[in-house]
Amino acid sequence: MKNLKDILYGVSVNELYGSADVLINNLQINSQLVKPNAIFIAIKGQTVDGHQYIDAAIKKGAKVIICQDLPAQRVENVTYIVVEDTKSALADMASNFYDNPSKKLKLVGITGTNGKTTVATLLYDLFSKLGYKVGLLSTVKILVNQQEFKTDNTTPDSLTINRYLAQMVKQGVSFCFMEVSSHGIHQKRTKGLNFTGGIFTNLTQDHLDYHLTFNAYRDVKKAFFDNLPKTAFALINADDKNGEVMLQNCQAKTYRYSLNSLADFKGKILENSLDGLLLQLNKNEIWVKLFGTFNAYNILAIYGTAMLLEVEEFDALKIISSLESVKGRFQFVLTESKISIIVDYAHTPDALKNVLSTLNTIRTGNEKLICVMGCGGDRDKDKRKKMGYIASKLSNLTIITSDNPRSENPEAIISQIELGVEPQDFKKILSITNREQAIKTASQLAQPGDIVLIAGKGHETYQEIKGVKHDFDDYKIALQLFNETKKDR
């Protein structure tokens, strides 16, 4: 076996959110990857069982089958290896195949509902500016030192993770910062990795379409900390009630950051405006370009991590003060017409509430706050009503529109969002199915000084409708439409 294209495995595309180009649920999709003497790993997915394709894999040349259920009919000269969990076996194989690259650099995982991308990306920026070669595995992109690769999943599959980690080691990368999703933990994508540290940001309702209950979702996150080695550090947000739960069975050295209680890394917001935050971090005052309470927590996590990785405090603070917002995460622009546009990934009730509450805290009250929002299809339906309630309560005008409807009817999703709007707030909402038209309407209704939040898709550059991804970038479209509206006035 000379390269990883010789390792094939059946998997549910739905479970891995559509990464069919790498992980196949039907051997016909990428039959060119099937080569003689291949290893086929049969993975049981949510909707498709890879065991169904064992015979097809053998006919295409597979000589080793790794499975959980031994087939009743077996083929001569084919080796069958039965394991308890093929996902776990795959993770160990991937790590060993690449000579355990996570042991050759400092790998820090960031998990939680909100803030993972911001914390991981800003840590990458911080350590890059400190002069290190750094890696990033995030929702937005994968970076091997300065080389960028696209990504579809918050936590890539175990083969992809180890392949990129090996590239990082080859290029002399010292640190890698990685988003760790609940799907990635549950599907054993992070098994076999050696983490130097783990960060917990917060926990609120999300992915209940997959985990079914909040407790199950929480316990999967907790499993990441349960498996950290004694040599690692675990840094948690002490102001989140689930923070201490993460540490219940954790063997790593534990640390806390907080705005509201005693902690190893204590913060205080001294000023909060659209221009940024004046913070006190332990005994240091620092001005940062990010704004909002949730970003104060993100900065605390970054500061604490830098200290735990033995960065000189003055150097860390100096660079933290220069960090810019991450694409699609509270991404701010002031138009020539003096309208403030904010594009944010807020796609959970808590994230949407945080962003709108922050804007209400720092606005004067003389301007309108317009919120363009929707909810994704084929995901947790329970949050739709809650997000409709939050948006209509905390905005002067809410324009409910499509997010990524996927296989669902977008009008049906909008109707479910509207169920959360109280009768007295119906005069404050508009429902426009076409997302571009919704943004255009916001541009036409906004006046100089107003604030327009476009929530839900953030960094995404597509809109998924009926299995097809169409080009759609909230930030670019908003700038174009607002500029066109300005010319028409």
Q: What is the CATH number of the domain that holds 117?
A: 3.40.1190.10
**Does residue 162 belong to any structural domain of this protein?**
yes
Indicate the number of domains in the chain. Answer: 3
Please tell me the number of Cα atoms within 13 Å of 392 on its side-chain side: 22
Distances (CA, A) of 307 to 66, 311, 457: 43, 5, 33
pLDDT for 423? 96
* Co-location of 157 and 267 in the same domain: yes
- The Cα–Cα gap between 450 and 70 comes to 64
Write out the two tokens for 477. 């479209």
CB 416 within 8 A of CB 448: no
pLDDT for 212? 59
Q: What is the CATH number of the domain that holds 46?
A: 3.40.1390.10
Chosen domain end from 50, 84, 118: 84
* Co-location of 281 and 364 in the same domain: no
* Co-location of 358 and 308 in the same domain: no
Chosen domain end from 263, 286, 320: 320
Residues of the chain with pLDDT under 70: 1-35, 46, 152-155, 205-212, 486-489
Q: Quick one: 422 exposed, middle or buried, by C-beta within 10 A (0-12, 13-18, 19+)?
A: exposed
- Biggest alpha carbon distance in the chain? 78
Chosen domain end from 263, 290, 320: 320
* Co-location of 310 and 337 in the same domain: no
Residue 299 contacts by C-beta under 8 Å, 6 or more apart in sequence? 267, 277, 279, 281, 288, 290, 320
Residue 405 contacts by C-beta under 8 Å, 6 or more apart in sequence? 376, 377, 413, 464, 465, 466
**Does residue 93 belong to any structural domain of this protein?**
no
* Co-location of 176 and 316 in the same domain: yes
**Per residue, what are the HEC states of the chain?**
CCCHHHEEEECCCCCCCCCCCCCECCCCCCHHHCCCCCEEEECECCCCEHHHHHHHHHHCCCCEEEECCCCCCCCCCCEEEECCCHHHHHHHHHHHHCCCHHHCCEEEEEECCCCHHHHHHHHHHHHHHCCCCEEEECCCCEEECCEEECCCCCCCCHHHHHHHHHHHHHCCCCEEEEECCHHHHHCCCCCCCCCCEEEECCCCCCCHHHHCCHHHHHHHHHHHHHCCCCCCEEEEECCCCCHHHHCCCCCCEEEEEECCCCCCEEEEEEEEECCEEEEEECCEEEEECCCCHHHHHHHHHHHHHHHHCCCCHHHHHHHHCCCCCCCCCCEEEECCCCCEEEEECCCCHHHHHHHHHHHHHHCCCCCCEEEEECCCCCCCCHHHHHHHHHHHHHCCEEEECCCCCECCCHHHHHHHHHCCCCHHHHHHEEECCCHHHHHHHHHHHCCCCCEEEEECCCCCCEEEECCEEEECCHHHHHHHHHHHHHHHC
- Which candidate, 474, 482, 460, 457, places its Cα nearest to that of 140? 460
**Does residue 166 belong to any structural domain of this protein?**
yes
Pairing of strands 276-281, 284-288: antiparallel
pLDDT for 22? 31
Q: State whether the Cα torsion 50-53-57-63 is positive or negative.
A: positive
* Co-location of 310 and 451 in the same domain: no
pLDDT for 20? 27
* Co-location of 61 and 202 in the same domain: no
In terms of residue numbers, what domain contains 115?
A: 100-320
Question: Residue 405, Cβ neighbours under 10 Å: how many?
Answer: 23
pLDDT per residue over 44-103, tens digit each?
876 778 898 888 888 888 888 999 999 999 999 999 999 999 989 889 988 998 999 999
* Co-location of 237 and 358 in the same domain: no
Q: What is the CATH number of the domain that holds 351?
A: 3.90.190.20
Q: At what angle do helices 313-320 and 293-308 cross, to 10 degrees?
A: 150
Q: State whether the Cα torsion 78-84-85-88 is positive or negative.
A: negative
**Does residue 72 belong to any structural domain of this protein?**
yes
